[in-house]
A and B are shown apart, each in its own frame.
Chain A
Amino acid sequence: MLKSQKNKYTKEDPLEHDEYNFAYLDEQTKRMIRRAILKAIAIPGYQVPFSSREMPMPYGWGTGGVQVTASCLCPTDTLKVIDQGADDTTNAVSIRKFFEKTANINTTDDTNSASIIQTRHRIPEEPLKEGQILIYQVPIPEPLRFLEPRETETRIMHALEEYGLMHVKLYEDITKHGHISTAYAYPIKVEERYVMDPSPIPKFDNPKLHNNEALQLFGAGREQRIYAIPPYTKVISLDFEDYPFEPMKAEAICSICGSNSSYLDEIIINDKGDKSYICSDTNYCEKRK
């Protein structure tokens, strides 16, 4: 999948697509990004700098993830794109269309038949397999950022494994809320070395990061960082002995498929404000109906 495409890829509709290289980025750029990806895989959890390119979409729309996806895609790949677990949201649809146009690859909603899945804010419910790549869109890659704004300092902290600050944040959480209130982007330690921000996935998804069979790649466009969790990597969520990490979800079942184990979105179903819950992973829900 990291094989480079030497020749300019030609599409059926030359008028519309002629100006693009396969998957939009030029081969030179893709090679540079692949080198960053390989380095990231070699040092699990370490943020590798890369020189982010302008993409035909604004930052915050997953330009980091898109560049990683573009660099991993082969013509034989099948791509799935999700946003908050759903295949049909604006962000997911536009990224999927972007690659349909620029790479002419097959796309799917089916987690199981996708070879590459680009995601924002979720890990699919269906367990991933060897050979699949899960690519996360990351807004802020630095887990220490809000406690230590100086990049020079956070780099040293990572280099020297000085992670006391991360627990200060959790300490403050417990102090203010009586429990660790961090519900998204819950900090993890990868392979007993680097502390990492898993992007704003709900902490419900954190256990799936651990020992996953798929390759997990993280791309931050504006911040120009790529990092990775290779398959079968040890991932633990930071906590205290007396306030252990707990993955959380709404105490309910999906009103569509009846699942009691999937991550649920809350929806208001009438003017009285009554609530109902449905799976956030739309493909998972669909398959169970």
Chain B
Amino acid sequence: MNNILSVKSLTKTYGHQIGCNDISFDLHEGEVIGVVGESGSGKSTLLSCLAGRLKVDKGSIKFKSRTDVKEELTEITEVRRRYLSRTDWAFVHQNPRDGLRMDISAGGNITERLMALGQRNYSSLRSKALNWLSKVEISTERIDDNPTTFSGGMQQRLQIARNLITEPRLIFMDEPTGGLDVSVQAKLLDLLRKIVIGLNLSVIIVTHDLGVVRLLADRLIVMKSGEVVETGLTDQVLDDPQHEYTQLLVSSVLQF
């Protein structure tokens, strides 16, 4: 089995409020899964549980490490979780401010993880930062500027570079194109697509924008009120939705 992630019966509640309920799915290596559903359907809750940012109530999350060992993420130590989050995983936030250090230069933002892993050569850190700036299509002249001077789209691309420099294998994205202008969104999507395919990344992307998953996701998970109502290949789900909620979503009857 080449699953990088296997989720079984995952449940998270906030007091009486259900966050997500009894979620099960597998993510294959190199696969992109899109999680869609209207606002409040539990997408962010699910993502935060998977990335260990929220403690789950019930269920199991098995992660395949670089050494092919299956780790139960609901049971790993905080030390291990933090190590994985800065090496094997990346988390791209909707608001780049949550994922960047706004008072540190672009170069410092990009190379922080490498320094955390013990890299101590300034010149080589710098050339890696320059390399990643061009990969995310930010002018290399901006390396010493703080993200506060960047546009929203640039900040989001900087966040992606900062996250991907350690070559993580599993990427969590929460509405990465939300809050951006439509033309900027398209450019970012294009870039994400190139990077995801180029690096053969495994990705879980949460969005309420079906256009985003149409372009990026291999498979879809449709959520409603904390539960999965439909799963399948992206084209299948979007072109021939089975559940009536998905049909509503696709016919854009629901406003988000």
Whether A164 contacts B112 by the Cβ 8 Å rule is yes
Q: Which of A164, A165, A240, A242 contacts B117 (CB 8 A)?
A: A164
Residues of B within 8 Å of A, CB-based: how many?
21
**A240-B120, A241-B121 in contact; A168/B82 too (CB < 8 A)?**
no
Residues of B within 8 A of A165 (CB): 112, 116
Q: Which of B105, B108, B113, B122 contacts A242 (CB 8 A)?
A: B122
In Å, the complex CA distance between A175 and B115 comes to: 15
A243 interface contact, C-beta 8 A: yes
Whether B121 contacts A242 by the Cβ 8 Å rule is yes
Whether A160 contacts B79 by the Cβ 8 Å rule is yes
B144 interface contact, C-beta 8 A: yes
Whether B115 contacts A160 by the Cβ 8 Å rule is no
Whether B115 contacts A164 by the Cβ 8 Å rule is yes
Residues of B within 8 A of A162 (CB): 82, 116
Q: Which of B79, B116, B123 contacts A164 (CB 8 A)?
A: B116
Residues of A within 8 A of B121 (CB): 240-242
Chain B's closest residue to A180 (CB) is: B122
Mark contacts of B110-144 with chain A using CB atoms, 8 A cut-off: 1 yes-contact digit, 0 otherwise: 01110111001111010000000000000000001
In Å, the complex CA distance between A164 and B87 comes to: 13
**A160-B78, A160-B79, A168-B108 in contact; A174/B116 too (CB < 8 A)?**
no
Q: Which of B78, B86, B108, B113 contacts A171 (CB 8 A)?
A: B108
Residues of A within 8 A of B107 (CB): 171, 175
B192 interface contact, C-beta 8 A: no
B104 interface contact, C-beta 8 A: yes
Residues of B within 8 A of A171 (CB): 107-108, 111, 115, 122, 125
Interface residues on A, range: 10 to 19
Residues of B within 8 A of A163 (CB): 116
Residues of A within 8 A of B82 (CB): 156, 160, 162
A167 interface contact, C-beta 8 A: yes
A151 interface contact, C-beta 8 A: no
Whether B105 contacts A175 by the Cβ 8 Å rule is yes
In whole Å, how far is A152's beta carbon from the nearest beta carbon of chain B?
13
In Å, the complex CA distance between A172 and B115 comes to: 12
**A160-B78, A171-B107, A175-B144 in contact; A242/B112 too (CB < 8 A)?**
no
In whole Å, how far is B136's beta carbon from the nearest beta carbon of chain A?
19
Mark contacts of A46-70 with chain B using CB atoms, 8 A cut-off: 1 yes-contact digit, 0 otherwise: 0000000000000000000000000
In Å, the complex CA distance between A194 and B177 comes to: 40
- In A236-253, which residues have CB < 8 Å from any B CB? 239-243
A-B contact pairs, 24 of them (CB 8 A): A160-B78, A160-B82, A162-B116, A164-B86, A164-B116, A165-B112, A167-B115, A168-B101, A168-B104, A168-B112, A171-B125, A172-B104, A172-B105, A172-B108, A174-B122, A175-B107, A175-B108, A175-B144, A176-B144, A240-B120, A240-B121, A240-B122, A241-B122, A242-B121
User: What residues of chain A have their CB less than 8 Å away from a CB belonging to chain B?
Assistant: 147, 156, 160, 162-165, 167-168, 171-172, 174-176, 239-243
Instruction: Other than A163-B116, A167-B115, A242-B123, give 9 A-B pairs with Cβ distance below 8 A.
Output: A156-B78, A160-B78, A162-B116, A164-B86, A168-B112, A171-B111, A171-B122, A240-B122, A241-B121
